[in-house]
Amino acid sequence: MIRFPAEWEPQSAVLIAWPHSAGDFNEHLGVIEETYTYIAKTITQYQKLIVVCHDDSHQQHIMSLLIDDHNIDYIQATINDSWVRDTVFLSVENNGVPQLQNFRFNGWGNKYPHQEDNALNHKLLPHEPFKGISHQDIDFILEGGSIESDGIDTLLTTRQCLLNPNRNKDLTQADIEEQLLHFLGASRVLWIDQDSLAGDDTDAHIDTLARFCSPTTIAYTSCDDNQDRHYHGLKRMEAQLQAFRTQSKEPYQLVALPMPQPIFDEEGQRLPANYANFLIINKAVLVPAYNDPMDAVAAERLEDCFPGRRIIPTPCRPLVQQYGSLHCMTMHFPEKVFAGH
How far apart, in whole angstroms, are the C-alpha atoms of residue 128 and residue 76?
11
H helices within 202-250, ranges in order?
A: 231-243
pTM beyond 0.95: the answer is yes
Residue 179 DSSP symbol: H
Contacts of 21 (CB under 8 A, 6+ apart): 29
* Full residue range of the structural domain in which residue 243 is found: 2-334
Query: Does 24 score more than 70 pLDDT?
Result: no
How far apart, in whole angstroms, are the C-alpha atoms of residue 219 and residue 150?
12
Query: Does 28 score more than 90 pLDDT?
Result: no
In a domain, 79, yes or no: yes
Nearest to 129 by CA among 27, 52, 226, 228: 52
Res. 20 pLDDT band, cuts 50 70 90 = confident
Angle among Cα 326, 137, 156 to the nearest 5 degrees reads 45
Nearest to 206 by CA among 195, 198, 214: 195
In a domain, 189, yes or no: yes
Cβ distance 294 to 275 under 8 Å?
A: yes
Cα→Cα distances 109→106, 178, 195, 293, Å: 6, 21, 15, 35
Q: Identify the three-state secondary structure at position 236.
A: helix
In a domain, 340, yes or no: no
Query: Does 68 score more than 90 pLDDT?
Result: no
Nearest to 129 by CA among 93, 181, 174, 91: 91
Query: For 175-191, what is each residue's pLDDT tens digit?
Result: 999 999 999 999 999 99
Nearest to 258 by CA among 293, 208, 223, 302: 223
Query: Does 23 score more than 70 pLDDT?
Result: no
Residue 270 DSSP symbol: B
In a domain, 147, yes or no: yes
In a domain, 63, yes or no: yes
In a domain, 259, yes or no: yes
Contacts of 279 (CB under 8 A, 6+ apart): 7, 14, 285, 286, 314, 326, 327, 330, 332
Domain count, the chain: 1
Query: For 97-155, what is each residue's pLDDT tens digit?
Result: 999 999 999 999 999 999 999 999 999 999 999 999 999 999 999 999 999 999 999 99
H helices within 67-172, ranges in order?
A: 107-110, 115-118, 120-124, 159-162
In a domain, 339, yes or no: no
pLDDT mean across residues, the chain: 95
Query: For 31-54, what is each residue's pLDDT tens digit?
Result: 999 999 999 999 999 999 999 999
In a domain, 233, yes or no: yes
Query: Does 278 score more than 90 pLDDT?
Result: yes
Residue 196 DSSP symbol: P
Q: Identify the three-state secondary structure at position 145.
A: helix
Nearest to 5 by CA among 122, 106, 101: 101
Query: For 187-246, what is each residue's pLDDT tens digit?
Result: 999 999 999 999 999 999 999 999 999 999 999 999 999 999 999 999 999 999 999 999
Q: Identify the three-state secondary structure at position 284.
A: strand
CATH number at residue 174: 3.75.10.10
